[in-house]
Amino acid sequence: MSDLPGGKGSLHYRGNVNQLVDGKTCLHWNSHSLLDYPINAFMKDADSYGIGDHNFCRNPDGDEKPWCYIKNNNKVEWDFCDISPCSETGRLENFT
């Protein structure tokens, strides 16, 4: 297990970080604002990606690091989260 947010294993990040680098707070994955987006708490197998009734950063699509959705001027956007290497608020689990 590693706390590092990037590289191998970041797909399985299960920490508690819920903010972007600029300090914006993530939307909850079960927000109705996300119903038209392919990745949300209502998608098939959401639990296996760590997505549910919370707003913690996740990496369900294997991007370079964990991310989340935010609202910016009433528009839903996504961006990478502010996860520092070896932070105490997050962890990565490698299942290989």
Q: What is the pLDDT of residue 11?
A: 76
Q: Report the distance separating Cα 51 and Cα 43, nearest Å.
A: 9
**Cα–Cα dist 81/27, whole Å:** 12
Mean pLDDT over residues 28-37, rounded?
98
User: So where are the chain's domains?
Assistant: 1-82
Tell me the CATH number for domain 1-82: 2.40.20.10
- In this structure, what are the phi and psi dihedrals at residue 41, rounded to the nearest 5 degrees? -70, -10
- How wide is the angle at C-alpha 22 spanned by C-alphas 62 and 54, nearest 5°? 55
The pLDDT tens digits of the residues spanning 49-86 come to 999 999 999 999 999 999 999 999 999 999 999 987 65
pLDDT at residue 91, rounded to an integer: 52
**45 token code pair:** 């197998």
Flag the least confident range among 29-33, 43-47, 75-79, 91-95. 91-95
